[in-house]
Structure 1
C-alpha cells in the first residue's frame, strides 16, 4: 500500500526543460517536486530543504566539472537518509565508484526513459523490507 503523504523530490539539472518535464511527470504521480538549475541553488536546497530523494545531473555548468558529486557530498552532510540518483551521459566505472563513496544510491545513464526513472525512484523510496 502506497503512503498517501507526498514524497518530496528535488530535481537538479541545468537543462530547465528537463527540470520542467521531470517536475510535471513526478508531480502528476503524486510527488511534491522542487528543482534547481545551478550549483548554488542546488546546494541551498539540499542544505535547507527536506527531500526524500534527489535526482541530479553530474555536470551542471556545461563544462567538464562534476557538480553532482559536490551536491552528493553536501547532501550526505545535511541529510544522510535522503536517497540520491546521479544522472549523466558520462558514466564510467570510476565515476560510479566515486559516487558510491559519496553516498549516491544509483548512477544512471542519460537519457533515461520516464517510466524507467520512475521505477528506480519507486524502488529507492520503498520500505526496506520490500526492496
Structure 2
C-alpha cells in the first residue's frame, strides 16, 4: 500500500467527525499518501474545485442529520473529476443506499466503522485498478 515518495497519490477524506478525519489522515499519510480533509460538504466541494484527488473517502451523512451529503459529493466528483475514485463510508448502509451510490458512480460502499487495514486494502486496490 505504500506510495513512492516521487509520486504520492492524493486522498480527500470527508467526515463530520474531526477525530475520524485525523485518524484516517495520520494513517494514510504514514503510508505515503498526501491527504486533505474536510468536515462539511461545502468545504469538500471547495477542495475538489481547487485540487486534484485520486480518491475520495466520504461519510454518507456529514451534518449529523438524515441528509446524504456523501451522495451529493459523489455526484459532483463524477461530473467534474470522473477519474477520481470514490469510497462511501456509512453506518446506515442499505441496499437502496448502495444502489443509489453505484448509480452515481461510487466505486465502493463500506460499513462504518471500517477496520483500517481493510480500508487501506480497498483504497490500494481501487488506486491500482485506476492506473
- TM-score with structure 2 setting the length: 0.94
Aligned residue for 2:108? Answer: 106
Deviating above 4 A after TM superposition, structure 1's stretches of 4 or more consecutive aligned residues are: none
Deviations 1:33-92 (A, max 9, x none): 000001110111122210000000000000000000000011111100100000000000
SS in 2 for 1:126: helix
8 Å CA contact 1:47, 1:75 repeated in 2 = no
Aligned residue for 2:81? Answer: 79
CA distance in 1, matches of 2:10, 2:33: 6
Deviations 1:13-33 (A, max 9, x none): 000000000000000000000
CA distance in 2, matches of 1:41, 1:16: 13
Equivalent pairs, count: 129
Distance 1:128 1:82, change over 3 A: closer
SS in 1 for 2:32: coil
- TM-score with structure 1 setting the length: 0.94
8 Å CA contact 2:3, 2:31 repeated in 1 = no
Q: CA RMSD in A?
A: 1.6
Aligned residue for 1:126? Answer: 128
CA distance in 1, matches of 2:41, 2:129: 30
Distance 1:3 1:29, change over 3 A: closer
